[in-house]
Amino acid sequence: MPMNEHSPWGKKKKPGTPEDFLAALIQKIRDAFNEEKNEGPPPQKGEGPDPAHFLAGIGKIALIVLAIICFQIIYSSFYTIEPGEQGVVLRFGKYHRTTEPGLRFKLPYIEEMEKVDVKTVRKEEFGFRTRIPGQNSSFNKDGFDKESLMLTGDKNVIDVAWIVQYTVNDPVRFLFKVRNVRQEVRDNSETVIRRIVGNMDFDYVLGNRAVLAGMAKQELQQDLDKLESGVHLGTLQLLDITPTDAVKPAFNEVNEADQDMKRLVNEAEEYYNKVIPKARGAAKQIVEEAHGYAVQRINNAKGETTRFNAIVAEYLKAKDVTRRRMYLETMQEILPRVKRLYVMDNEEQPVLPFLNLSDDGQTRQTRGSASAETNEYRSPLNNRRIQ
Amino acid sequence: MKQAIQILTLVLVAVVIATVWDGFYILREDKQAVITQFGAPVGEPVTTAGLKLKVPFIQRIRYFEKRTLIWDGDPNQIATNDKTFIFMDNTARWRISNALLFLQAVGNEMSAQTLLDDIINGAVRDLVNQNDLIEIIRSSDWDKEYSFARSRDADMIKAPEKGRDKISALVLKQASQNTREYGIELIDVMFKRVNYIQSVREKVYSRMISERKRIAAEKRSRGEGRKAEILGKVERELKEITSEAKRQATEIRGEADAEATRLYGESYSRYADFYFFQKSLESYRNILGQNTSLILSPDSELLHYLESTEDR
C-alpha cells in the first residue's frame, strides 16, 4: 500500500491481467463483507468505517489499474511512420484516418494501426523469373511456359514475357477491399495480355509491341480500379516476344530469305550501276568522236576549198602559164623518184618486146598496149589534149 | 438495507464486468459477422465496421471475410465446338454477399472453393463446348486491322460472333444463378489462360512451320524475279544507249560528209577542169613512187621540147 502513494505512475510489476484484477476485487469485497460481519451491522450509523474501508480498497485497486493503463498508453500509443509509408488507423475496427510519416499518437486499445508502403515499386514478372537480381540480373525462362505461351488471333502460338510495376496509391482500399491484391494484379495482367494478344495476328504482335503494351496497360488499370484494389500501375513492359523454340528455325529462315531477296536485288542493281553509266560514257564518247570527225571534215573541206579558190583566183589571171608550170613542177618531182623510165612510141613498133619485169618478182608476157595488171601507167597526157 | 445495496452493487459490478468482458466486440473494416445464439444464427449479418454490442456469453460471433476473394480453378482440358482440345486456367472473383446464407449452406471458405470449382467449371465447360475455338481466342472488339488476313479460312477474316469477353460474361451469368443461394456473389470469371493441349500444339507448330517455309520460298522467288527484271533492264538499256549513240554518230558524220561534199562541190564544180587537172597532178605525186616503172610516149607534152623548140 505505501508503494502506491509514492508514485502511481511507472510501476512495473503489477497484476495487470483481468483475472488477477477480478480476484483482487473479489478479495476486497470478501474482506469488506468479513469486516462488516465481525463488527456487526450498526443500522444507526449512516457512514461507517466499512463503506469507507470498502471504497478505500476499491480506490487502491483503481490506482493500480490506472498505473498499468498509463504505462501501456505510453508504450503503445506512440508509433512512427517512415517516409514512403502511410498508417491506416481503425477506431473500434472502423476506419478512422490515414496518417502521414512522422511520430504519431493513437488511442490505446481503442485504435489499431496498420502500416502500408506506398512508395516502393512492386514488380510482378510473367513468363520468367529473375534469377539473380541486381546489376547484371539473369533471367530464367525454363518452366514458365504456362505463363508465357498464349494464342494469337490467327490460332498460332506465341511466347510473351513481360513485367508489371505498380505502387499502392490508396492504402485503405488496398487493405480492406481485396484480400490478395498481389494475386489480383497477376491474374488480371495475364488475362488482359492474353485477351489483347488473342485479337491480334501473330505477325502483328511481333511488329507492334508498343500498341500491345499501351492497350494492355490501359485495360489493366481500368480492371484494377473497378476491383477497388487501390493500386496504380507504373509500367507494363513487354520483354521478349518470340515464336516458340520449335518454330524459331522456320522464322529465322524467313528472315534469311528476306536477306537473300534483298541481296539478290542489290546484286542486280549493283550490276546495273556498274554497266549502265559506263555504257553511257562510251556512248557519249562515240558521239563526241563523231562531232570531232564532223568538225574536222568540214574544216578540211573549208580549208581545201579556200585554198583551191585562192589558187583558182591566181590561175585565172594566167591560165596557160599556170597549167604548164604546175605540170612541169609535178613531173620534176615525180620522175626522179621513178625507178625506170621508158620512152616508147607504141605506133612505130609493131611488136612490143618482152619486158623483163622479173626483178619485181613476176614474169609476165605483155603485148599490145599497156596491160592493166602491171605497174605501168600510161600517161594520160598522151590521150588528151590539154586546152 | 445495506445488504440490498451491497447485493445491488455486486450485481451491477458483475454486469459491468460481464459487459466489458464479453458484451462488446469489434468488427474490423474487412470482416463481417453472424451472431449465433446457442449455435443457431440470430438476426441479420453485421456488415458495417465498428464497436458492437452483444449478449455476453450466450451469443457467439462468427466472423467472415468481407473483402473480395479469389477463386483459382485447376487447369482443365475442354473441347471446343470445332473439336479442338484446349487447356483453360480460369479464375474468378467472389465475395460473401450474405454471411448468414453462407454460414448455413457452405460453412467455410474451403468448402466454398470446392463448391465454386463445381459450379464455375461446369459453366465454363458448357459454354466452351458450344463455341468454336476462334470465339474463345478473339474478343468482340476484334478489328481486322490487327490481322493480315493471310488465311483462306472464312472464319479468320471476320469478327467473332460473340467473342471471349461475351462468353466469359455468359459463364458469369450462368454460374451466378447457382451461387446466390449460397450467399456467394460472383463478381467476374476470367479466362486467365487458354492454351492447346500437347498434341494439338504439335500440329499447330507444324502448320506454322510450313507457313513460314512457304513465305520464305515466296520471298526468295520474288528476289530472283526482281533480279532477272533488273538484269533484263540492263540489257535493254545497254542496247538502247549504244544504238542511239551509234545512230547519232552516224547522223553527225553523215551530215558532216554531206556538208563537206557540198562545199567541195560548190567550189570545185565552178572550175571543174582546173580542179581535175590539179587533182590529177596531186595523184601522180602520191601514186608514182619508188617502185614505179613509167612508160612515156615521145609525143608526151613533157618531152615536146626534146624534139622541137617551137611553141606548142
DSSP-assigned letters across all residues of B173-202: HHHHHHHGGGTEEEEEEEEEEEEE-HHHHH
Asked if A167 and A231 touch (Cβ cutoff 8 Å), the reply is: yes
* A contacts of B252 (beta carbons < 8 Å): 287, 290-291, 293-294
At residue A353, the pLDDT reads 64
**Which of A330, A340, A341 to probe the B interface (max B CBs under 10 A)?**
A330
Q: How far apart are CA A378 and CA A343, in angstroms?
A: 11
Nearest Cα of chain B lies from the Cα of A141 at a distance, in angstroms, of 18
CB B293 within 8 A of CB A340: yes
- For chain B, give the percent of residues with pLDDT over 90: 43
pLDDT classification of B312: cutoffs 50, 70, 90? low
Chain B contact for A165 (CB, 8 A cutoff):
no
What integer pLDDT is reported at residue B175 of this predicted model? 93
* pLDDT: which is higher, B257 or B306: B257
pLDDT for residue B292 is more than 70: yes
* pLDDT tier, A41 (very low <50, low <70, confident <90, very high otherwise): very low
Out of A43, A227, A334, closest to residue B284 by CB:
A334
Give burial (CB, 10 Å; 0-12/13-18/19+) of B286: exposed
Distance from CA of A300 to the nearest CA of B (A): 8
Cβ within 8 Å of B, A 245-264: 246-247, 249-251, 253-254, 256-258, 260-264
Q: How far apart are CA B144 and CA B157, in angstroms?
A: 7
A23 vs B301: CA distance, rounded Å: 180
Q: Which residues of A touch B48 (CB under 8 A)?
A: 94
Q: Kindly state the average pLDDT of the residues A198-220.
A: 91
pLDDT of residue A2: 46
Closest CB from B69, B138, B228 relative to A199: B138
Model confidence at B284: pLDDT above 90:
no
B115: how many CB neighbours lie within 10 A of its CB? 18
Q: Which three cell numbers stand for residue B255?
A: 551530215
The C-alpha cell that represents A101 in the structure block:
510519416
Which amino acid is located at A189 in the chain? Answer: S
Cβ contact B191–A194 (<8 Å): yes
To the nearest whole Å, the CA of B39 is away from the closest chain A CA by 25
Query: What is the predicted pLDDT for the residue at B172?
Result: 94
Alpha-carbon distance of A43 to B230, in angstroms, equals 133
pLDDT, tens digit, 9 for 90 and up, residues A293-309? 999 999 999 998 898 88
Determine, for residues B190 and A191 on separate chains, whether the beta-carbon distance falls below 8 Å. Answer: yes
pLDDT mean over B192-211 = 91
Q: Is the dihedral of CA B215, B220, B226, B232 positive or negative?
A: negative
Say yes or no: ipTM exceeds 0.85: no
Given A157, A188, A261, which is nearest B220 (Cβ)? A261
Rounded to a whole number of angstroms, the distance from the CA of A169 to the nearest CA of chain B is: 18
User: Which of B256, B263, B267 lies nearest to residue A294, judging by beta carbons?
Assistant: B256
**What whole-number distance in Å separates Cα of residue A185 and Cα of residue A279?**
69
Which set of grid coordinates corresponds to residue B155? Answer: 472464319
Share of residues in chain B with pLDDT > 70 (%): 96
Chain A residues in contact with B7 (beta carbon < 8 A): none
B10, closest residue in chain A (CA to CA): A29
Residue that wins the pLDDT comparison between A366 and B7: B7
Which pLDDT tens digit goes with each residue over B73-118? 888 899 999 899 999 999 999 999 999 999 989 888 899 999 999 9
Higher pLDDT pick, B228 / A16: B228
pLDDT, residue B185, reads: 93
Q: What is the DSSP letter of A359?
A: G
Q: Is the pLDDT of residue B231 over 70?
A: yes
What would the mean pLDDT of A324-331 be, rounded to a whole number? 86
Nearest Cβ partner of B212 from A155, A253, A337?
A253
Q: Which residue has the higher pLDDT, A10 or A189?
A: A189
Measure the N-to-C terminal CA separation of chain A; round to a whole number of Å: 180
Compute CA distances B160 → A5, A175, B164, whole Å. Answer: 86, 40, 9
Judging contacts by C-beta atoms under 8 Å, the chain A residues touching residue B266 are 305
Q: What is the distance between the alpha carbons of residues A120 and A167, in angstroms, rounded to a whole number?
A: 6
- Residue A177 to chain B, least CA–CA distance (Å): 5
DSSP string, A205-274: HHH-HHHHHHHHHHHHHHHHHHTT--EEEEEEEEEEEE--TTTHHHHHHHHHHHHHHHHHHHHHHHHHHH
The predicted pLDDT at position B65 comes to 92
pLDDT at A294: 92
Minimum mean pLDDT among A107-116, A198-207, B231-240: which range?
Answer: A107-116
- Predicted confidence (pLDDT) at residue A44 exceeds the cutoff of 80: no
Contact B80, B131 (CB under 8 A): yes
Q: How far is B232 from chain A (nearest CA, A)?
A: 10
- Residue A134 has what pLDDT? 65
Per-residue pLDDT band at B305 (split at 50, 70, 90): confident
End-to-end CA separation in angstroms for chain B: 203
- Between CA B203 and CA B214, with CA B209 as vertex, the angle to 5 degrees is 130
Residue A349 banded pLDDT, cuts 50, 70, 90: low
Name the residue in chain A with its Cα closest to that of B281: A330
Q: Is A317 a residue whose pLDDT tops 90?
A: no
According to the model, what pLDDT value does residue B3 have? Answer: 82
Q: Which residue has the higher pLDDT, B24 or A185?
A: A185
Please write the tens of the pLDDT for every residue from B236-275: 999 999 999 999 999 999 999 999 899 888 888 888 888 8
Distance from CA of A7 to the nearest CA of B (A): 27
Could you tell me if A276 and B241 are in contact, meaning their C-beta atoms sit under 8 angstroms apart? yes
Which residues of chain A form beta strands (DSSP E)?
Answer: 78-81, 85-91, 94-99, 102-105, 111-117, 122-126, 129-130, 139-140, 149-151, 157-168, 231-242, 340-343
Residue type at A346 in one-letter notation: N
Verify whether the Cβ–Cβ distance A179 to B69 is below 8 Å: yes
C-alpha cell at B204: 499447330
Q: Is B160 within 8 Å of B138 (Cβ atoms)?
A: yes
Residues 35-94, chain A: which have Cβ within 8 Å of B? Answer: 36, 41, 43, 90, 92-94
* pLDDT of A342 strictly over 80: no
The Cα–Cα gap between A298 and A302 comes to 6
CA pair distance B111, B175, nearest whole angstrom: 16
| Long-range contacts of A274-279, Cβ-Cβ distance < 8 Å, separation of 24 or more | A275/B234, A275/B238, A276/B234, A276/B237, A276/B238, A276/B241, A279/B237, A279/B238, A279/B241, A279/B242
**Is the CB of A331 less than 8 angstroms away from the CB of B93?**
no
* Yes or no, beta carbons of A263 and B137 under 8 Å apart: no
Closest CA to A119 of A83, A88, A163: A83
- Which of B109, B108, B158 has its CA nearest to residue B132? B158
DSSP three-state, residue B291: coil
Region of residue A72 (phi > 0: left; psi between -120 and 50: alpha; otherwise: beta): alpha
Most confident range, picked from A314-318, A330-334, B91-95, B276-280? B91-95
Q: Which of A352-366, A369-383, B207-221 has the highest mean pLDDT?
A: B207-221
- Three-state SS at B62: strand
Whole-number pLDDT of residue A109 = 74
pLDDT at A163 over 90: yes
Q: What span, in angstroms and rounded, lies between the C-alpha atoms of B54 and A131?
A: 54
Predicted local confidence at residue B149, as pLDDT: 57
Pair type for strands B69-72 and B85-96:
antiparallel
B30 φ, ψ (degrees, to nearest 5): -100, 10
Contact criterion met (CB < 8 Å) for B212 and A250: yes
Q: Which amino acid is at A233?
A: L
Q: What percent of chain A shows pLDDT beyond 70?
A: 76
